[in-house]
């Protein structure tokens, strides 16, 4: 507004000069225009003074992107200029980013709420890892929660000369599924926190993120993505390296490996403590082949084989820091068939998989002081009914070796689930979904747990 005043003064001077040489009629017309201009100038000065006295009303244009629409701050009396739709606001918010030197930081998140009814209680309830024995909890239950709400920051950093000028970056992400004692006072759970440098040829990463093994996730709307029932792999601190070898436009070989910390396991019975960390890291690796043309509008097939090996140190009473091996072998496949139809799934086998959420989240049998072996996997078919309406149907199973689970405790020997859902994209950022899942869990010396689970989910992303 300040920039409008000098041109106005110049214009008054030019018109005053013209007035001296004009005819009486012209002088009267010019005088009228000058009076109008003086009134507008006084109004502009008054508005500028008002803005100076009330800084809250002053828009912070410098803090917004250059392309940000001025209408975001235009609060004139016209009703059409005072209100904006959620889609319009979200489009403008996406243009925001924080910058610090060579770094660009973009916030994101999901506002996530779900509502669940289950015919018999499951563990945990808000999401399901297994069905509780009907002898312990045979009642139905209803749950509502917002603990899956997620917040994060994507960081884009400078290119690094030491790494062939590859771009660097990172991610910080957390939700509210951490420990809590009261349902409406959840704890913060760290999901991802890592730095990386990556280009089309390689990736180096340090921090916490997903395991290398079994990287796929089923298309469920449930927070726990069928962990404990056949889908293994979680998040853990690691140093990771990846190499991408593109032999042609239709053949890509991916090599991945990581050095990870071991993690404590959940046990079938008894109180037991994890010992010290082992003297060597938990090793994970994966080799994958991508077949077919790659890119946004293509549907390549990806098949991978992965595994891990390591050990954890366990205190069994008088037996201190007993080394217990953990290992797995895994296969993953994702195969789009058409633009709307596809198949994906994983298979695993291994032992002491509690920290990978395998073995129905059981790693070690306490009475036998041995690791629990388990085999399982999951598969699903997805189909896009329309561009906005999607459906997934699947089956998952986790089957520990019965001989490794001692009787007399709360050992789980079998777990499976069928599920089907339908998801509707209300907008590009807001979706709702409904899912039905049928669960069955077997125990060493208890009645089976069987539950049908109905879940409604609403999620808004920004």
Q: How far apart are CA 383 and CA 159, in angstroms?
A: 40
pLDDT digits over 10-62, tens only?
A: 444 444 444 444 455 555 665 666 666 666 666 666 655 555 544 443 333 33
Task: Provide the pLDDT confidence category of residue 89 given band limits of 50, 70 and 90.
Answer: low
> Quick check: is 66 in a domain?
no
- Within 8 A by CB and 6+ apart from 261, the residues are 236, 237, 238, 277, 281, 282
Residue-level pLDDT at 101: 86
53 lies in the same domain as 104: no
Parent domain of 8: 2-58
Task: Provide the pLDDT confidence category of residue 439 given band limits of 50, 70 and 90.
Answer: very high
> Quick check: is 253 in a domain?
yes
Mean pLDDT of 175-179: 94
pLDDT digits over 134-145, tens only?
A: 999 989 999 999
288 lies in the same domain as 364: yes
Burial category of 277 from C-beta neighbours within 10 Å (exposed 0-12, middle 13-18, buried 19 and up)? middle
40 lies in the same domain as 127: no
Mean pLDDT check: name the lowest of 155-164, 191-200, 364-373.
364-373
Phi, psi values for residue 39, rounded to 5°: -65, -40
> Quick check: is 88 in a domain?
no
Average pLDDT in the chain: 84
Task: Provide the pLDDT confidence category of residue 297 given band limits of 50, 70 and 90.
Answer: confident
Task: For the chain, give the percent of residues with pLDDT over 90.
Answer: 65
Q: Is 50 exceeded by the pLDDT of residue 2? A: no
248 lies in the same domain as 337: yes
Q: What is the CA radius of gyration of the chain?
A: 31
Q: Which residue has the tokens 């235009």?
A: 74
Mean pLDDT of 310-323: 83
Q: Is 80 exceeded by the pLDDT of residue 68? A: no
> Quick check: is 283 in a domain?
yes
> Quick check: is 270 in a domain?
yes
pLDDT digits over 92-123, tens only?
A: 555 667 888 889 999 999 999 999 999 999 99
Nearest to 314 by CA among 344, 357, 270: 270
Mean pLDDT of 177-199: 93
421 lies in the same domain as 369: yes
22 lies in the same domain as 148: no
Residue-level pLDDT at 55: 43
Q: What is the CATH number of the domain that holds 276?
A: 2.40.160.10
> Quick check: is 91 in a domain?
no
Q: Is 80 exceeded by the pLDDT of residue 164? A: yes
Q: Which residue has the tokens 């405790």?
A: 409
323 lies in the same domain as 183: yes
Tell me which range, 54-68, 307-321, 446-460, is most confidently predicted by mean pLDDT. Answer: 446-460
Residue-level pLDDT at 263: 74
**395-419 burial code (b ≥16 CB/10 A, e <16):** bbbbbbeeebbbeebbbbbbbbbeb
42 lies in the same domain as 105: no
Q: How far apart are CA 287 and CA 257, in angstroms?
A: 9
105 lies in the same domain as 246: yes
Domains: count for the chain:
2
Phi, psi values for residue 344, rounded to 5°: -150, 160
> Rounded to a whole number, what is the distance in angstroms from the first to the last CA of the chain?
33
339 lies in the same domain as 449: yes
Q: Is 70 exceeded by the pLDDT of residue 4? A: no
Residue-level pLDDT at 14: 41
173 lies in the same domain as 300: yes
> Quick check: is 63 in a domain?
no
- The dihedral over CA atoms of 367, 371, 372, 374, expressed in degrees to the nearest 10, equals 180
Q: Which long-range contacts (CB under 8 A, 24 or more apart) does 443-446 make?
A: 443/133, 443/410, 443/411, 443/412, 443/413, 444/402, 444/405, 444/406, 444/407, 444/408, 444/409, 444/410, 444/411, 444/412, 444/413, 445/407, 445/408, 445/409, 446/133, 446/135, 446/136, 446/410
What are the C-alpha distances in Å from 142 to residues 58, 116, 126, 447, 456? Answer: 49, 6, 9, 22, 12
Q: Is 70 exceeded by the pLDDT of residue 295? A: yes
Mean pLDDT of 195-215: 97
12 CB-side CA count, 13 A: 13
Task: Provide the pLDDT confidence category of residue 313 given band limits of 50, 70 and 90.
Answer: confident
Mean pLDDT check: name the lowest of 71-80, 335-344, 354-363.
71-80
Task: Provide the pLDDT confidence category of residue 253 given band limits of 50, 70 and 90.
Answer: very high
Q: Is 90 exceeded by the pLDDT of residue 374? A: yes
327 lies in the same domain as 421: yes
Mean pLDDT of 153-178: 95
Residue-level pLDDT at 109: 97
> Quick check: is 117 in a domain?
yes
């Amino acid at each position: 507004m300040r920039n409008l005043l000098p041109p106005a003064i110049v214009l008054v001077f030019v018109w005053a000069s013209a007035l001296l040489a004009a005819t009486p009629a012209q002088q009267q017309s010019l005088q009228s225009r000058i009076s109008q201009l003086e009134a507008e100038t006084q109004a502009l000065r008054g508005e500028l003074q008002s803005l100076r006295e009330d800084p809250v009303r002053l828009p912070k244009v410098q803090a917004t992107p250059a392309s940000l629409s001025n209408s975001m701050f235009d609060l004139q009396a016209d009703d059409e200029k005072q209100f904006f739709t959620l889609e319009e606001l979200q489009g403008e918010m996406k243009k925001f980013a924080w910058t610090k030197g060579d770094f660009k930081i973009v916030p994101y998140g999901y506002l996530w709420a779900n509502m669940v009814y289950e015919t018999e209680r499951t563990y945990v309830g808000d999401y399901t890892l297994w069905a509780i024995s009907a002898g312990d909890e045979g009642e139905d239950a209803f749950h509502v929660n917002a603990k899956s709400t997620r917040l994060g920051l994507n960081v884009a950093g400078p290119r690094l000369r030491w790494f062939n000028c590859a771009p660097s970056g990172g991610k910080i992400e957390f939700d509210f599924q951490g420990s809590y004692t009261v349902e409406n006072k959840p704890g913060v759970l760290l999901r991802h926190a890592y730095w990386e440098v990556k280009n089309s040829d390689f990736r180096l990463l340090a921090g916490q993120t997903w395991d290398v093994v079994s990287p796929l996730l089923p298309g469920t709307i449930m927070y726990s993505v069928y962990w404990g029932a056949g889908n293994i792999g979680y998040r853990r601190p690691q140093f990771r390296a990846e190499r991408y070898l593109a032999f042609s436009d239709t053949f890509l070989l991916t090599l991945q490996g990581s050095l990870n910390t071991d993690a404590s396991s959940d046990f079938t019975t008894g109180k037991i403590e994890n010992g010290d960390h082992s003297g060597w890291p938990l090793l994970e690796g994966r080799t994958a082949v991508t077949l077919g043309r790659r890119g946004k509008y293509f549907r390549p097939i990806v098949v991978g084989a992965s595994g891990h090996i390591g050990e954890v140190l366990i205190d069994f009473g008088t037996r201190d820091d007993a080394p217990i091996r953990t290992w797995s072998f895994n296969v993953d496949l994702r195969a789009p068939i058409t633009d709307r139809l596809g198949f994906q799934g994983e298979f695993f086998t291994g032992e002491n998989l509690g920290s990978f959420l395998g073995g129905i989240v059981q790693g070690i049998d306490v009475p036998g002081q041995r690791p629990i072996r388990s085999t399982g996997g999951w598969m699903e078919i997805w189909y896009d009914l329309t561009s906005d309406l999607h459906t997934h149907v699947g089956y998952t199973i986790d089957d520990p070796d019965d001989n490794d689970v001692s009787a007399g405790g709360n050992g789980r020997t079998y777990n499976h689930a069928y599920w089907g859902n339908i998801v509707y994209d209300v907008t590009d950022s807001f979706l709702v979904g409904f899912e039905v899942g049928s669960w069955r869990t077997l125990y060493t010396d208890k009645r089976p747990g069987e539950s049908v689970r109905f879940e409604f989910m609403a999620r808004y992303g920004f």
